[in-house]
Amino acid sequence: MAPTPSDTPEPNPLSLRFCGLEFATPLVLLSGCVGFGEEYTRVEGFSHRDVGAVCLKGTTGEARAGNPPHRVCETPMGMLNAIGLQNPGVDHVVREILPRLDRTATRYIANVSGSTIEEYARVTARFDDSPIDAIEINISCPNVKEGGVAFGNDPDMSARVVEACRAVTSKPLITKLSPNQTDIAGNARRCIEAGSDAFAVINTLMGMAIDAERRVPVLGNRQGGLSGPAIKPIALLKVHQVYQVCQKHDIPIIGQGGITGVTDALEFLIAGATAVGIGTALFYDPLVCPRINAGIADYLRRHGLPDVSALRGTLQTEGASTRS
């Protein structure tokens, strides 16, 4: 018997396809902000159905204790963090943590970090043999064999990491691009050639805080990654620049950096992001996601757009207004 209208589910205007994966909403919980996924489920009122995907905490080949304290410092309109990739190592994550995750309502993305290209490849290969949905490569880590130069700030090194990871997995590869470089669009182009399926734009900017009375750095690591609303204008520009490369190859972008509300998320989608990452905002508004989802759905309705994908890359640059 044919289904009656009441039996037919309403289409979800927030759902989208990302590297062949179905996301229920365009919101992605960012790596380092929700632990290994299960921590966030302890928040009363949280539902996995509010997010399209969850990026797990950065994972290395072996367990790491992380940086000495202090590790977090609040700044005007943002936060500095220098956690130092504290994690139990990839074998523990795959054996003990992944089986406990509820994979019925959202997607899970592993975050791979390393100090050498070989470590990136080894961790990626371990995740390839797991139920994880996709793999994010954090190329902002320093290469110990190259004197501590961050992979993500050198296009050649970025491409080498992506190429090594691509060789050991068939899962979608998402390259997390650093804003601390000269030509982020050129780096993206090299990563696409090396096999990247998608990008996360951007990672944190490097910053510092000083205790003026004691005249010492606040963070035990001296420097840390700046996130939060302060970096939003930079992140928007970087997404727009990377989108100019990605649209030619139909490569999706997770736009991230300072998104705290509906308008922020809409701006990133308009600039070229397929999905948007929520990170620092979760620390002071753990239930921000349903509010952003409702706002995006309302915007789509008011503007006569069928779904969130129709909003991607719709920035009008011709005849843009100027301010004197």
Q: pLDDT at residue 278 above 80? A: yes
Least confident of 117-121, 148-152, 270-274: 148-152
- What is the rounded average pLDDT of the residues 2-23? 81
Spell out the residues 6+ positions from residue 202 whose beta carbon is closer than 8 angstroms to its own: 177, 178, 179, 184, 231, 234, 235, 238, 239, 256, 257
Q: pLDDT at residue 202 above 80? A: yes
- Cα–Cα distance for residue pair 234/254, rounded to 1 Å: 15
Structural domain harbouring 233: 21-61+83-206+227-311
Q: pLDDT at residue 47 above 90? A: no
- Cα–Cα distance for residue pair 197/136, rounded to 1 Å: 10
Q: pLDDT at residue 259 above 70? A: yes
Q: Tell me, what's the pLDDT at 2? A: 55
Q: Residue 45 — very low, low, confident or very high, per pLDDT cuts 50/70/90?
A: confident
Does the annotation mark 55 as catalytic?
no
Q: Residue 6 — very low, low, confident or very high, per pLDDT cuts 50/70/90?
A: low
Q: Is residue 324 part of a domain?
A: no
- Cα–Cα distance for residue pair 76/228, rounded to 1 Å: 9
* Higher pLDDT pick, 149 / 301: 301
Q: Is residue 287 part of a domain?
A: yes
Q: Tell me, what's the pLDDT at 324? A: 44
Q: Is residue 318 part of a domain?
A: no
Instruction: Express each pLDDT in 239-258 by its tens digit.
Output: 999 999 999 999 999 999 99
The whole-model pTM stands at 0.94
Q: Tell me, what's the pLDDT at 44? A: 84
Q: Is residue 199 part of a domain?
A: yes
- What is the rounded average pLDDT of the residues 64-93? 95
Mean pLDDT of the chain: 93
* Higher pLDDT pick, 157 / 8: 157
Beta bridge partners of 87: 64
Q: Is residue 31 part of a domain?
A: yes
Q: Residue 148 — very low, low, confident or very high, per pLDDT cuts 50/70/90?
A: low
Q: Is residue 67 part of a domain?
A: no
Least confident of 30-39, 113-122, 164-173: 30-39
As for how many domains the chain has, the answer is 1
Spell out the residues 6+ positions from residue 88 whose beta carbon is closer than 8 angstroms to its own: 63, 96, 97
**Among the options 73, 141, 191, 246, which is catalytic?**
141
Q: Residue 319 — very low, low, confident or very high, per pLDDT cuts 50/70/90?
A: low
For the chain, the first-to-last Cα distance in angstroms comes to 65
Q: Which CATH number goes with the domain that contains 252?
A: 3.20.20.70
Q: Is residue 245 part of a domain?
A: yes
Q: Is residue 141 part of a domain?
A: yes
Specify burial of residue 59 (Cβ count, 10 A radius: 0-12, 13-18, 19+). Answer: buried
CB 303 within 8 A of CB 309: no
Contacts for 260-265 with beta carbons within 8 Å, 24 or more apart? 260/228, 260/229, 260/285, 260/288, 261/288, 261/291, 261/292, 261/295, 262/291, 262/292, 262/294, 262/295, 262/296, 262/299, 263/295, 264/232, 265/26, 265/27, 265/292, 265/295, 265/296
Q: From residue 150, give the alpha-carbon distance in Å to each of 66, 106, 161, 318.
A: 17, 32, 11, 37
Beta bridge partners of 64: 87
- Helix (H) / strand (E) containing 269: helix 262-271
Angle ∠(73,74,75) on CA atoms, nearest 5: 115
- Cα–Cα distance for residue pair 18/28, rounded to 1 Å: 11
Q: pLDDT at residue 321 above 70? A: no
Q: pLDDT at residue 144 above 80? A: no
